[in-house]
Structure 1
Amino acid sequence: MASKNTRINEMIRIREVRLIDEEGEQLGVMPTAEALSMAQEKGIDLVEVSPNANPPVCKLMDYGKYKFEMDKKNRDAKRKQKQTQLKEIRMQPKIEPHDLQFKTKHVKQFLAEGNKVKVTIRFRGRELAHTERGVMVLERVLDMLEDGFAVDRKPMMEGRFMSMILSPKPAKKA
């Protein structure tokens, strides 16, 4: 919807308004009653486009068309938003080199799609005494990724898990 609090025609109860005609020409500050009568003569609406200005700015236009254009802008803005997800890859501190490469390839794919990735190392039993091995695995993952990511959260222990969060580097706008 355009705006729930957009006032039109008789809903505008201010004494004076700054008026703009349908071509965008400024007609100056005038009483609201006079602006309203001009709108009725032309068969269009008096729409308050900037209520916070002093005096408020009103424009002579077709309100239905204005509302449609505002809805269209909102829909386009919503469509252009990208939802990022947090994907998780789990490993163990005693992971084999090929498995590490395979999982790192998935991390690269997730980052290329624009998602954040949480790389988690799960410690079981006595492995918890050697958390430095988990840090080494996470560092190897970073080395294998090369570039194109940013570390949002450095490796950190959470109970029996050590994790870090990576996000894709924002694309440079040319």
Structure 2
Amino acid sequence: MIKNEKIKAFEVQLTGVNGEDLGIVPTSEALAMARKLKVDLVCTSLMSSPPPCRLIGAGAAKQEAQQARKQEKAPKLKEIRLTPHIEEHDYETKLQQAERILKAGDAVMLVVKIQGKEGAKAKELLEALLKDLKPSGKPKTGIQLSGKQAAVQLDPL
């Protein structure tokens, strides 16, 4: 984000404090206008000529930059492994882990390791987890049984 005197362009496409279009203005005039209104002149993109700039309050510019950085961060996929023969306390622990990950904004892959004929039990376990995690996340995929594991992916709400 380039602000105020660091903008080197001769002229800029200026947008006012309330979003009104002020047209193409010489940079020196835009800076004078920013000083008069006690706001910052912020360049939003350097890819066009003249570059688009906005008049933004000092705190708002910083907040907007932080918001843009947050949106750039892609959600990570974290895996939680379970077995079909899980104790109640262990189930609660895994449930809390999954809720914590979903609330942090990351996706969760719940994987149940299967041995022999435990497929039905693994599916029941994943269905129970999906039901308990409904307030925190929504399933991206259905329950997938394949070979030695059953899995389902949950995305945050």
TM-score, structure 1 normalization = 0.55
User: Equivalent residue for 2:119?
Assistant: 139
The equivalent of 1:16 in structure 2 is: 11
Cross-structure match for 1:164: 149
Gapped runs of 5+ residues in structure 1? 1-5, 90-99, 122-133, 156-162
Residue pair 1:17, 1:57 contacting (<8 A) in 2 also: yes
Helix, strand or coil: the match of 1:27? strand
TM-superposition CA deviations, 1:33-68 (whole Å, max 9, x none): 221122122232211123334421111122333203
1:65: which partner in 2?
60
Q: Which residue of 2 aligns with 1:30?
A: 25
Confirm whether residue 88 of structure 1 aligns to residue 68 of structure 2: no
Which of 15, 21, 46 is residue 41 of structure 2 equivalent to? 46
Q: Output the amino acid matched with 1:150.
A: I
Corresponding position of 2:104: none
Could you say what secondary structure the match of 1:23 adopts?
A: coil
Unaligned runs of 5+ in 2: 100-107, 131-141
Cα shift at 1:106: 8.8
Q: In 2, distance between residues paired with 1:170 and 1:45? A: 38
Task: Tell me if structure 2 keeps the 8 A contact 1:108–1:145.
Answer: no
The one-character-per-residue Cα deviations of 1:122-149 (angstroms, maximum 9, x if unpaired) are xxxxxxxxxxxx2xx1433356458564
Q: Give the structure 2 partner of residue 7 of structure 1.
A: 2
How many angstroms does 1:108 deviate by? 8.1
- The structure having more radius of gyration, on CA atoms, is 1
TM-score, normalised via structure 2 length: 0.60
Aligned to 2:44, what secondary structure does the other structure show?
A: strand
C-alpha distance in structure 2 between counterparts of 1:138 and 1:44, whole Å: 65
Q: CA RMSD, aligned part only? A: 3.8
CA 1:165–1:103 in 2, change beyond 3 Å: closer, same or farther? same
Q: Structure 1 counterpart of 2:34, which letter?
A: A
Number of aligned residue pairs: give it. 131
Find the counterpart in structure 2 of residue 150 from structure 1.
143
